[in-house]
Amino acid sequence: MTKALRLSISCCLMLHFAATAQQKQPVLPIEKQHQLYNEFKAFCSIPNTGEPAQMERNVQFITGMLKETGMKIQVLRATQPNIPPLVFAELTVPGAKRTVLFYAHYDGQPVTPAAWAKGIAPFEPVLYSAPFDKGGQLMAEPAAGEAFAGDLRLYARGAGDDKAGVMTIIEACRQLVKEGKQPASNIKLLFEGEEEKGSTHLAEILEANKDLLAADDWIIADGPVHPSGKPEISFGVRGDVNVEITTYGPNRPLHSGHYGNWAPNPAWRLVQLLATMRNNSGHVLIKNWYTDVVPFTPEEKAAVAKIPKDEQVLAASLGLAKTEGSGETQIALLNQPSLNINGLQSADVGSLSRNVIPTTATAALDLRLVLGNDWQRQIDKLVKHVEAQGYFVTDHDPTAEERLQHALIAKITHGTGYNAQRTPMSLPFSQELIKAVQAGTTKPVVVLPGTGGSLPLKIIEDKMGVHIVIVPIANYDDNQHAENENLRLQNLWDGICEYRVIMERL
């Protein structure tokens, strides 16, 4: 068989044979894996943490990949300059009854390169035979004709969250178009560059392009699949808002010997203030924290009951002897608002530690919200709690006068937040999507009423009047948001096959 002939047996056909006729897991041809690996590696080598020129390079890369689809491409910008734009593309199908918009984001969380493992840098993608901390070794890419199979990982910021999502959607489209296939619906693609910063300008751009972006349903390619490795559909997300609390000690660092016991220490104040907020099993003690939570519907409860029971295995793989809560399941705990400490900082520890009373201490908090919560109301509860502990709450570093007026001062600042979103599973669209995803895989699909992660879907739902569902593809251990982010390449290959079927059937 000639090489050209082998290539002509397209991924599409293989998928159909595998998934429908023989019930084998669909696979992406090896030549295609090599081509996509090189493209994805180049994509991941472009920094994506917000620097405007770099974000534009990402945009150029995405529009370059989209050109092969022949779709109409537009770059949608905020009125303010230097904001990472949205990349939009559309494909109109004559006679289609539905318009489905596929969304992913190309920006990544901030990086602290020093925290990454030796030999792994955020924007110099490297290939490992398995996770580096589980015996994986740095490796050259497989020779031509050999698959990128098994547990192979590409390490880079954004690899899992969410350049894999961008790549999956574009490649699924490219395959359809190349083969002259017709999707079942009109297809629109939208790639955002500010998701990790709270989608600050998304609402503005949606508003300004309401007709262009009009759709019936949105499918989001973001987040990791279930820890069991099974394909997943999630019908909702938690909301989110970031808050920082800073407490104050003396106006200059003091010698801990000459002043210790006499001058108040801001680290002790922060510790004592935070300790009033949460008990040892993780229950938040702030007044009314849970009162507005909407519980699961009977339908959602039924879906939850079918989720694989593998929490103990997951906990053990994470080195955890015990998880939080008072016996609730993980999914039940994720349907509660959280108060997470993202980071603590006061002066230094380790070799840089000095015998001082620091001047300030800061906690970075992450408030996840569930259906019923409102992000501004949740912050208000937190502020009221801090005030109830005797603190003067301000949004700026205290002035010299304020310092002398108040014994306890807390600066509380916050970003722009958004509320949780949930799509009913009973909708025809929801039921059809479950069937389409199941058609692209031999594994049983895990259906969740919602994931613990956050996306600004509520803003989109309200503004655009659409149904939104998430079909993630990344591995659960992709270290997203952390150092050593990686993508299991098999997840990308499987994800592309999955999305191909969704586009063809839905």
Q: Which of 16, 403, 443, 463 binds a copy of itself (CB under 8 A)?
A: 403
149 CB-side CA count, 13 A? 9
Give the integer Cα–Cα distance in Å for 150 and 494: 12
Residue 387 binding a copy of itself, by CB under 8 A: no
Characterize the bridge pairing of strands 126-128 and 153-155.
antiparallel
Q: How far is the CB of 223 from a copy of itself (least distance, A)?
A: 7
Give the integer Cα–Cα distance in Å for 51 and 32: 32
First to last CA, the chain: 35
Q: How far is the CB of 189 from a copy of itself (least distance, A)?
A: 24
Chain residues 187-246 in contact with a copy of itself, contact rule CB under 8 A: 223-224, 237-238, 240, 242, 244
Compare residues 10 and 362 and give the one whose CB is closer to a copy of itself: 362
With CB under 8 A as the contact rule, which of the stretches 136-144, 179-187, 353-361, 490-498 interacts with a copy of itself? 353-361
Compare residues 19 and 277 and give the one whose CB is closer to a copy of itself: 277
Compare residues 177 and 344 and give the one whose CB is closer to a copy of itself: 344
At residue 487, the 3 state secondary structure works out as: strand
Structure tokens given for 211: 């007709």
Compare residues 347 and 379 and give the one whose CB is closer to a copy of itself: 347
Binding mask 406-445 for a copy of itself (x = CB under 8 A): xx--------------------------------------
Residue 140 binding a copy of itself, by CB under 8 A: no
Chain residues 250-289 in contact with a copy of itself, contact rule CB under 8 A: 250-265, 267-268, 270-272, 274-275, 278, 280, 282
Residue pair 452/340 in contact by the 8 Å Cβ criterion: no
Give the integer Cα–Cα distance in Å for 356 and 302: 56
Q: What is residue 135's DSSP assignment?
A: T
Residue 130 binding a copy of itself, by CB under 8 A: no
- 427 Cβ neighbours under 8 A, 6+ residues apart: 467
Compare residues 18 and 448 and give the one whose CB is closer to a copy of itself: 448
Sign of CA dihedral 144, 146, 149, 153: negative
Of the candidates 132, 50, 130, the one whose C-alpha atom is nearest the C-alpha of residue 484 is 132
Compare residues 14 and 121 and give the one whose CB is closer to a copy of itself: 121
Q: Which of 351, 396, 426, 428 binds a copy of itself (CB under 8 A)?
A: 351
Chain residues 303-342 in contact with a copy of itself, contact rule CB under 8 A: 315-316, 318-325, 330, 333-334, 336, 338, 340-342
With CB under 8 A as the contact rule, which of the stretches 4-12, 148-156, 295-303, 352-360 interacts with a copy of itself? 352-360
Chain residues 51-110 in contact with a copy of itself, contact rule CB under 8 A: 109-110
Q: How far is the CB of 133 from a copy of itself (least distance, A)?
A: 7
Residue 133 binding a copy of itself, by CB under 8 A: yes
Compare residues 142 and 372 and give the one whose CB is closer to a copy of itself: 372
Per-residue H/E/C for 185-207: CEEEEEEECCHHHCCCCHHHHHH
Q: Which of 405, 431, 442, 444 binds a copy of itself (CB under 8 A)?
A: 405
Number of residues that bind a copy of itself (CB under 8 A): 98
Give the integer Cα–Cα distance in Å for 473 and 322: 28
Residue pair 153/474 in contact by the 8 Å Cβ criterion: no
Compare residues 10 and 394 and give the one whose CB is closer to a copy of itself: 394
- The owner of tokens 């005797």 is 390
Give the integer Cα–Cα distance in Å for 178 and 311: 42
Compare residues 239 and 495 and give the one whose CB is closer to a copy of itself: 239
Residue pair 263/249 in contact by the 8 Å Cβ criterion: yes
* Burial of 253 per CB tally in 10 Å (0-12, 13-18, 19+): middle
What is the four-CA torsion angle of 450, 455, 457, 463, rounded to 10 degrees? Answer: 170
Compare residues 47 and 452 and give the one whose CB is closer to a copy of itself: 452
